[in-house]
Structure 1
Amino acid sequence: MAAATLRPVTLPLAALLVYPATLLLGSLYSTISPTANPSRDTQLASPLAPSLAADLHLSESPVNYFARKNNVFNVYFVKIGWLWTTAAFVSLLLFQPLYSSSRPQSSSQQETRLRRTLQAVLRYALATTAWYLSTQWFFGPAIIDRGFVVTGGKCERAFEKVEELGTGTTDLEALFTAATCKAAGGAWRGGHDISGHVLMLVLATGFLAFEAVGASAPAFPSRFGPTGDAGRERKASDADSPPTVGTTESGGVAGTWSLRLVWGVVGLGWWMLFMTAIWFHTWLEKWSGLLIALSAVYAIYILPRRLASWRNVVGEPGI
């Protein structure tokens, strides 16, 4: 009789294609739809040209609710998106049996759960670092702001005000970020503005999706030997000898709701990514944000499948 094999459930690399597909669909819709592409005061000649930094905006009274920067989902979800991401991830650590259990455990099971938890926290730390350095701070202005200045962007209106006062602008230009420019009453114009929304939403939803799939699947012994090579897979004929680290324990009500929270954040994150693809930024700015985010997701979740030394450090969800 043919032997069946059991493998940990993980997201395939092809699952990441949902992100470029979403941006492509949104960008095409924004181009061909009369609603999404009205006459704009800030309309640009080319979708690849530099934009108003922060948003390639519609009119003062946009025809779609999601084209408004002050829509409730943008203000209370996207703007604090990493807080929602963190809360959803913590719920997995607290309520999924892969990481915590109320049942008696052997010392080997405790060690396995501790290893999984530490590696999951490390993956979270890596994703958070990628988000933080790109959008918040990178030894001064974030990578996105530095890239904008390098490509010719500046805080135009604020500089005009400073010049009227007869003060220099060189130092001011070097220190400005998109946030400080807006706070000073300026307009962040002229450079390539990598979409921070796209970067954060892709990175956050990719991170949570990989973690949720791994945490919610029954845990099996690692398919990798101690040297990182593919080890012997557990066969159906081994059923009488239970795995030393496997579990089919249910997370109960709390575990169910933690997964609902995670997938709710992922679903809303995807929707806001689609809205961003339709209403904001140029094509190139959206796709550059996507490239940075997918590079981080690849390094954290796909590369360990191919590189044993890296896998031994960050692990894989569900293993």
Structure 2
Amino acid sequence: MPAPARPAPSPVVLLVYPVTLLLGSLFSVISPVARSTRSSSHDPAAPLAPSLAADLHLSESPVNYFARKSNIFNLYFVKVGWIWLTVAFASLVLFQPAYNLSSASHAQQEIRFRRSIQAFLRWCLATIVWYLTTQWFFGPAIIDRSFMITGGKCGQALDLVAKANSESSSVQLETVFTAAACKAAGGAWKGGHDISGHVFMLVLVTALLVFEAVGAGAVAASPSAAPESAGRERKASDPNALPNGDQDASFGTGRTWSMRLVWGVVVLGWWMLFMTAIWFHTWLEKWSGLAIALSTIYVIYILPRRLPPWKDIVGLPGV
């Protein structure tokens, strides 16, 4: 019997994320462009604490394109990153042999159906963490709550509100403001520890897709898939088999493009993580975002290898 395909990459690959943040942060200190951008601010950044223009009032028109919040990759990729993750993830489940129910025996269909359900559960767990961290946690999201707990507030907007309302009203508003509401009110999120949502989301998205793609790819490359393929080839001369052949070709194309989409999202996600490491947030804010993301990946993809009861629930990609 052939050895089973490796279902997932080694956890060591996750070291690419702290290394990326470290290199980006160091580059932001060493680079003349980054230093000149910070030197043009009204409130210069503390040493070894590179941050985004919006946080430290850097130049309104940063020299580097990726230091601008309005850059096209930030607007149409990072800001809607969970949509890109969902589309890429769905393409794996729809087209990869690890999950595809077409041209499979009854026993294989049961295995693939179980894999699909567990894959969906893994996506749901990651989505819940993303939603609670960045969107809503019984009110403001975890990122917003941590910012306010550490002394942050929506400075400019609250100053305006305080002039028109009583002190108690402004304090109440301060406790319910989210970063999005603050921006919409024309204020600036200042003063607290602002966990990097960009780092959190980009690490979680790229790591999730890598683990899922490697697991699904291992099944496709497994020698155990050969007999099934050979059986389809032997039926090629049968006229009744032609529609299935067309279907196999269609799914073959889908397999190829689903992997291209996944790895495209991963590569672009890593690049934007590197740009975030250079231009956005302080070191501690970036590393706190990284910690939340890697903790989530550990629970979903690493812990099941060591805890069989948890593996029976969430499974492992390709297993």
Same fold per superposition (TM over 0.5)? yes
Moved more, 252-261 or 31-40: 31-40
Q: How far did residue 97 of structure 1 move?
A: 1.2
Structure 1 residues 248, 305: CA separation in 2 closer, same or farther (over 3 Å shift)? farther
1:33 alignment partner in structure 2: 31
Conserved? CA contact 1:148–1:193, under 8 Å: yes
Give the aligned residue type for 1:28: L
2:32 counterpart SS class: coil
Counterpart Cα distance in 2 of 1:313 and 1:15 = 24
Q: How far did residue 57 of structure 1 move?
A: 5.4
Structure 1 residues 220, 252: CA separation in 2 closer, same or farther (over 3 Å shift)? closer
Per-residue CA deviation, residues 167-224 of structure 1 (Å, 9 max, x unaligned), is 3212101110010001001111000000000000000101111001111222699xxx
1:286 alignment partner in structure 2: 286
Counterpart Cα distance in 1 of 2:44 and 2:53 = 13
Conserved? CA contact 2:97–2:220, under 8 Å: no
Counterpart Cα distance in 1 of 2:122 and 2:228 = 22
Give the aligned residue type for 1:293: A
Give the aligned residue type for 1:152: G
Aligned ranges 1:46-61 → 2 under 5 Å: 46-47=47-48, 55-56=55-56, 58-61=58-61
Q: How far did residue 48 of structure 1 move?
A: 5.4
2:212 alignment partner in structure 1: 211
Per-residue CA deviation, residues 243-293 of structure 1 (Å, 9 max, x unaligned), is 9x9977985111000000000000000000000000110000000000000
Per-residue CA deviation, residues 111-139 of structure 1 (Å, 9 max, x unaligned), is 11111000000000011111110000000
2:149 alignment partner in structure 1: 150
Counterpart Cα distance in 1 of 2:142 and 2:229 = 43
Q: How far did residue 44 of structure 1 move?
A: 2.3
2:174 alignment partner in structure 1: 173
Moved more, 8-17 or 138-147: 8-17
Give the aligned residue type for 2:141: A
The size of the alignment, in residue pairs, is 295
Conserved? CA contact 1:53–1:192, under 8 Å: no
Counterpart Cα distance in 1 of 2:11 and 2:122 = 17
1:183 alignment partner in structure 2: 184
Residue 5 of structure 1 pairs with residue 6 of structure 2: no
Counterpart Cα distance in 1 of 2:190 and 2:132 = 22
Identity %: 62
1:296 alignment partner in structure 2: 296
Conserved? CA contact 1:53–1:188, under 8 Å: no
Conserved? CA contact 1:120–1:317, under 8 Å: yes
Structure 1 residues 218, 247: CA separation in 2 closer, same or farther (over 3 Å shift)? farther
Residue 94 of structure 1 pairs with residue 118 of structure 2: no
Conserved? CA contact 2:53–2:59, under 8 Å: no
Moved more, 147-156 or 54-63: 54-63
Structure 1 residues 32, 48: CA separation in 2 closer, same or farther (over 3 Å shift)? closer
The unaligned stretches of length 5 or more in structure 2 are 231-247
Counterpart Cα distance in 2 of 1:29 and 1:318 = 38
Q: How far did residue 4 of structure 1 move?
A: 7.0
2:68 alignment partner in structure 1: 68
Quick check: which one's helix share is greater? 2
Give the aligned residue type for 1:6: P
Conserved? CA contact 1:56–1:280, under 8 Å: no
Counterpart Cα distance in 2 of 1:248 and 1:137 = 47
Counterpart Cα distance in 1 of 2:228 and 2:23 = 41
TM-score (normalizing by structure 2)? 0.86
Give the aligned residue type for 2:22: L
Counterpart Cα distance in 2 of 1:247 and 1:220 = 13
Counterpart Cα distance in 2 of 1:47 and 1:190 = 18
Give the aligned residue type for 1:308: P
Counterpart Cα distance in 2 of 1:207 and 1:196 = 16
Structure 1 residues 36, 96: CA separation in 2 closer, same or farther (over 3 Å shift)? same
Structure 1 residues 310, 141: CA separation in 2 closer, same or farther (over 3 Å shift)? same
What is the RMSD of the two structures over their aligned residues, measured on CA atoms? 2.4
TM-score (normalizing by structure 1)? 0.86
